[in-house]
């Protein structure tokens, strides 16, 4: 075991095991650590500069701006005076976020100027460099574009809608739906934007996820990007939807395998929807789970039972398929 934030510790662990590869699957914080360790060990890597551009949101925004990619207006904020100036540049509604954090820690929707003042401290506290960003909130349907870069050439693997709540938890995924609903010129624009964004941020050989918002003017704006396999259950959606196994691919990239082009191209295009189970707002109960199963009173048991009921439930399409088997 070693601290995933420590380059020295992970390097030591990798050396002691004679590791052939280092990778992170879904954790953003580890992306720069993995890049640094791989470089020290002479293993295939994203490279520390690209890792910084993908994980430091200000570096990301600056790079995308230099390359003319569509993205929300933004400003760097290190204190309240800069915050007030940023409100003038960016306007409302806006999103306040730490420059280097993940998992939506310190992320706030700002609808009133006073909210910036209330949340700035919390946003700065989540940043190791004590920096935050204020970005214009992009209205529209959010999408996840999964891309793969092979020898410097980036292509789209899948584009799916990422549905989220309107109000509280505005950044949290409620469901993923493949394919994305946009079409024609907007689809072409989203595809081009996702591929270019990953490319200018420095992805050469590997997997990336570009978060886009389909805007009402027919465009696609970049709200975020990551150089790793998608988090949540998105990798499963991609496997079912287009037949590409992202985790296996990530491992092959990390091992430095020569990957043929056909292994990264979508093999099919199936409609797939994935919905997360949600809980009522309130405190998450803590405690020790002694046993999980029917009849157990711990709230975790209720979740397990519900998941089991859903899993047990035969979906209508399967019932129909059984009733009228294809010739």
Ligand X SMILES: Nc1ncnc2c1ncn2[C@@H]1O[C@H](COP(=O)(O)OP(=O)(O)OP(=O)(O)O)[C@@H](O)[C@H]1O
Positions that interact with ligand X (CB under 6 A): 72, 95, 97, 101-104, 107, 135, 137-138, 142, 164, 171, 211, 213, 223-224
CB 253, min distance to ligand X, A: 21
* CB closer to ligand X, 9 vs 137: 137
Structure token pair of residue 41: 């060990």
- Smaller CB separation from ligand X, 76 or 137: 137
Q: 232: left (phi > 0), else alpha (psi -120 to 50), else beta?
A: left
Our CB check for Mg ion shows the closer of 44 and 224 to be: 224
Tell whether residue 98 is a contact of Mg ion (CB under 5 A): no
Q: Which residue is nearest to ligand X (CB)?
A: 171
Single out the residue of 44, 127, 224, 246 in contact with Mg ion (rule: CB under 5 A). Answer: 224
Q: Which is nearer to Mg ion, 83 or 224 (CB)?
A: 224
Judge whether 263 and 251 are in contact, CB under 8 Å.
no
Tell me which residue has tokens 């296996």.
248
Candidates 41-49, 112-120, 224-232, 295-303 — which segment interacts with Mg ion by CB under 5 A? 224-232
What's the min distance (Å) between Cβ of 280 and ligand X?
A: 21
Residue 138 CB, nearest distance to Mg ion (Å)? 14
Residue 61 binds which entry of ligand X, Mg ion, none, CB below 5-8 Å type-dependent: none
Cα–Cα distance measured from residue 137 to residue 259, given in angstroms and rounded to the nearest whole number: 38
Name the segment binding Mg ion (CB under 5 A); options: 106-114, 220-228, 279-287, 308-316: 220-228
Q: Give the neighbor-by-neighbor strand order of the sheet with 153-163.
A: 220-226, 206-214, 141-150, 153-163, 175-178, 272-275
Which residue's CB is nearer to Mg ion, number 11 or number 135?
Answer: 135
Q: Which entry of Mg ion, ligand X, none binds 24, CB below 5 to 8 A by partner kind?
A: none
Closest approach of Mg ion to the CB of residue 107, in Å: 9
In the complex with ligand X, which residue's Cβ is closer, 96 or 149? 96
93 binds, among ligand X, Mg ion, none (CB under 5 to 8 A by kind): none
Q: Which does 157 bind (CB under 5 to 8 A by kind): ligand X, Mg ion, none?
A: none
Per-residue x/- track, 166-205, Mg ion (CB under 5 A): ----------------------------------------
Residue 230 interaction partner, one of Mg ion, ligand X, none, beta carbon < 5-8 Å per kind: none
Task: Work out what residue 72 binds among Mg ion, ligand X, none; the CB cut-off runs from 5 to 8 Å by kind.
Answer: ligand X
Residues that bind Mg ion (CB under 5 A): 224
């Amino acid at each position: 075991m070693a601290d995933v934030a420590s380059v020295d510790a992970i390097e030591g662990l990798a050396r002691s095991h004679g590791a052939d590869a280092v990778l992170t699957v879904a954790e953003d914080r580890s992306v720069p650590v993995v890049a640094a360790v791989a470089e020290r060990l002479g293993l295939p890597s994203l490279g520390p500069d690209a890792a910084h551009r993908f994980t430091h949101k200000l570096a990301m925004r600056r790079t995308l701006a230099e390359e003319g990619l569509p993205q929300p207006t933004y400003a760097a904020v290190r204190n309240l005076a800069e915050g007030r100036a940023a409100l003038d540049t960016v306007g409302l509604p806006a999103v306040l976020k730490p420059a280097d954090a993940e998992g939506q820690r310190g992320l706030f929707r700002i609808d009133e100027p006073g909210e910036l003042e209330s949340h700035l401290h919390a946003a700065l506290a989540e940043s190791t460099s004590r920096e935050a960003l204020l970005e214009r909130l992009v209205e529209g349907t959010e999408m996840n574009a999964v891309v793969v870069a092979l020898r410097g050439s980036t292509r789209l693997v899948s584009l799916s809608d990422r549905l989220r709540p309107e109000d509280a938890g505005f950044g949290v995924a409620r469901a993923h739906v493949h394919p994305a609903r946009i079409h024609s010129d907007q689809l072409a624009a989203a595809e081009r934007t996702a591929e270019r964004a990953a490319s200018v941020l420095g992805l050469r050989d590997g997997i990336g996820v570009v978060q886009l918002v389909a805007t009402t003017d027919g465009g696609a704006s970049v709200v975020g990007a990551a150089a790793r396999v998608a988090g949540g259950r998105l990798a499963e959606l991609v496997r079912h939807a287009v037949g590409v196994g992202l985790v296996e691919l990530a491992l092959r990239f990390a091992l430095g395998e020569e990957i043929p082009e056909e292994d990264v191209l979508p093999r099919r295009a199936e409609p797939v929807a994935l919905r997360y189970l949600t809980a009522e707002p309130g405190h998450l109960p803590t405690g020790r789970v002694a046993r999980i199963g029917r009849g157990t009173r711990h709230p975790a048991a209720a979740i397990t039972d519900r998941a089991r009921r859903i899993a047990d439930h035969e979906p209508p399409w399967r019932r129909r398929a059984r009733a009228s088997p294809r010739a």
